[in-house]
Amino acid sequence: PFIHPVTLKNEDSTETMIQALFDDGAMTGAMSSSTFNAIKHTLKGWRLSSQILRMANGTIVPSEAVWTGTINIKNTEVMGTFEVFDSTGGWSFLFGKPLL
């Protein structure tokens, strides 16, 4: 795993930059609730989520929101989706297998 900045782009071309933890062992893209709450006013297009996530230790955690949009990494853009849930302080933005 390594940390690298990514830019989340809204449809209106506004952008939010965030540091992401890249981890090819993570089975989803995810943002911590605390990070989401700090930037959700600049992150447009998110919606409530009913997704249930199973953590590596077997615990079940409900997703609070989901965002789909353009993600920019070093001038390369892709469409991506991530879930928002309480990471209990482990990371702020997790760039997992589906985003890789």
Q: What is the pLDDT of residues 31-54, one digit of tens each?
A: 999 999 999 999 998 999 999 988
> Is the separation of the CB atoms in 21 and 93 below 8 Å?
yes
What domains appear along the chain, each with residue ranges and CATH number?
Answer: 2-99 (2.40.70.10)
Q: What is the pLDDT of residues 8-30, one digit of tens each?
A: 998 888 999 999 999 887 777 89
Q: What is the pLDDT of residues 83-96, one digit of tens each?
A: 999 888 778 998 88
pTM over 0.95: no
Q: Determine the distance from the C-alpha atom of residue 44 to the mean position of all C-alpha atoms in its chain, rounded to a whole number.
A: 13
* Sign of the four-CA dihedral 24, 34, 50, 61: positive
